[in-house]
Structure formats: structure tokens, C-alpha cells
Amino acid sequence: DAGVIQSPRHEVTEMGQEVTLRCKPISGHDYLFWYRQTMMRGLELLIYFNNNVPIDDSGMPEDRFSAKMPNASFSTLKIQPSEPRDSAVYFCASSDPGQGNTEAFFGQGTRLTVV
Amino acid sequence: AQSVSQHNHHVILSEAASLELGCNYSYGGTVNLFWYVQYPGQHLQLLLKYFSGDPLVKGIKGFEAEFIKSKFSFNLRKPSVQWSDTAEYFCALYLNRDDKIIFGKGTRLHILP
């Protein structure tokens, strides 16, 4: 398996623009997580899905953030409108705890810069 | 509330020095603990994990960690560090009631050649 795949790797956008981050989890993994990494806050869990259904979105910072998982192999994290304070590295991860593998496997991340 | 605490935010060592990074957790459920490593510019990779059994866990690249239940700790150790160990290290806890993983804030390790 190619692992968790995220796109784009880097995104630079202007304040106020819509940003969409994409993730393809490892095939067969039924959990998908979106994390945000910043110097100040470390690694924060934003939202996670089980079998495409959002389970907990309490980590989503504001209504400007939304996430979807239309099928088992694809998820998006959208920020609309974007602000400079959203600049961070966004990681997607997946896991398959039902098989006893509770660890999360991470994608390469998307480095977002909002100017 | 469940949490993971890493005591050191930034550690600087010389090559061949011994390493111990502290991690404490707070959780009332079944404990699955992890250490992840993030090399500069890269994604997080699993270093080692503890599920049950032997509390001393050995991972890749000579790292090990010891689960001490009475202290709610899972410290990471390496007897002799190398320059290539320069990275950020994250302790993480799997919450079995929610099937999610939470992370400590990370420790940046800088090894001087």
C-alpha cells in the first residue's frame, strides 16, 4: 500500500480564499483523522471519522472549517474563508483498530500558508 | 480528562550522550501508548508502541520505552544518541473508548555533532 496520501503538499493562498485539503487513507482502514500542527499548540486533533461518519469534530476551531468523507477512500478538509492564523501543517492519518493495530499512520502533510 | 504531557520541549545533547524523554498520561481506560518521531520536514512515523505484556518496549533505531503504570509514565530512552536522531518526538495515547489518539506537545531533540 502507498500509505496515506495527502494533496497538495504545499499551499499558499491569500486571506479570504477557500482552501481544500485532500486525503486518501490506507485501503481497509476505517478510521480517518485530521490533525493540525503548529509551533504553539503542537499536534491538535481536529476531527475524525469512522466508516465515513464524523465521530467527533470538537477540535475544529471555527465554523470556517469543515470536513467531509464521501467514501472510504477520500476525505477533504475545507477552510472558507482562510485567515493567516490558519497557517500550519495539516496531517491526515488513518487506522484500523479492529484488527488490533491502534496506531495511526500519517500522510506527508499539507503545509498551508495564508498570506 | 485524558491528556498526554511531555516535560521537555527542547533538548540539546552531544553525540553519544544518553537520552531520556519524559511522558506522562492521564486516562482511566485500557492503555495503548506510542512514541512517534518526526524528522525535519517529514511526517510522523511510529517509533515504538506498548499494548500489553512486557513494560519495556524496544523500537526501531535503538530506542526503547518503559511503561510504569504506577507513575502513569512512558519514558523514551536511548543509550547513545546520534546526530541523525535530531527530530521531534511525540508521545501519544490511544483512547480505546473513542478509538482516537491524542498527542503530547512534542519534544524537539537537537544532537550536536
Q: pLDDT, tens digit, for every residue of A31-75? A: 999 999 998 888 999 999 999 999 999 999 889 999 999 999 999
User: Which residue in B has a C-alpha nearest to residue A55's C-alpha?
Assistant: B98
Phi and psi angles of residue A9, each rounded to the nearest 5 degrees, phi first? -80, -35
Is A102 in Cβ contact with B51 (below 8 Å)?
yes
Looking at residue B92, its pLDDT comes to 96
Looking at residue A7, its pLDDT comes to 96
Question: Does the CB of A34 have a partner CB in chain B at under 8 Å?
Answer: no
Looking at residue B12, its pLDDT comes to 97
- Of residues A112 and B52, more confidence is placed in A112
Give me chain A's average pLDDT, please.
Answer: 94
- Dihedral of CA A29/A34/A38/A43: which sign? negative
* Residues of chain B with C-beta less than 8 angstroms from the C-beta of A48: 100
Looking at residue A1, its pLDDT comes to 63
pLDDT tops 90 at residue A99: no
Looking at residue A41, its pLDDT comes to 87
User: Which residue in B has a C-alpha nearest to residue A109's C-alpha?
Assistant: B43
DSSP SS3 for B2: coil
How far apart (Å, rounded) are the C-alpha atoms in residues A109 and A111?
6
Per-residue pLDDT, averaged over A1-26, amounts to 95
* Residues of chain B with C-beta less than 8 angstroms from the C-beta of A53: none
B113 exposed, middle or buried (CB, 10 Å; 0-12, 13-18, 19+)?
exposed
Give CA B10 to chain center in angstroms. 14
Is A103 in Cβ contact with B34 (below 8 Å)?
yes
pLDDT-above-90 percentage for chain A: 85
pLDDT tops 80 at residue A100: no
How far apart (Å, rounded) are the C-alpha atoms in residues A94 and B72?
26
Give the HSE-up count for residue B36: Cα atoms under 13 Å, Cβ half-sphere: 22
Mean pLDDT by 10 residues, chain B (113 residues): 90 97 92 94 92 92 95 96 96 90 94 92
Is B106 in Cβ contact with A103 (below 8 Å)?
no
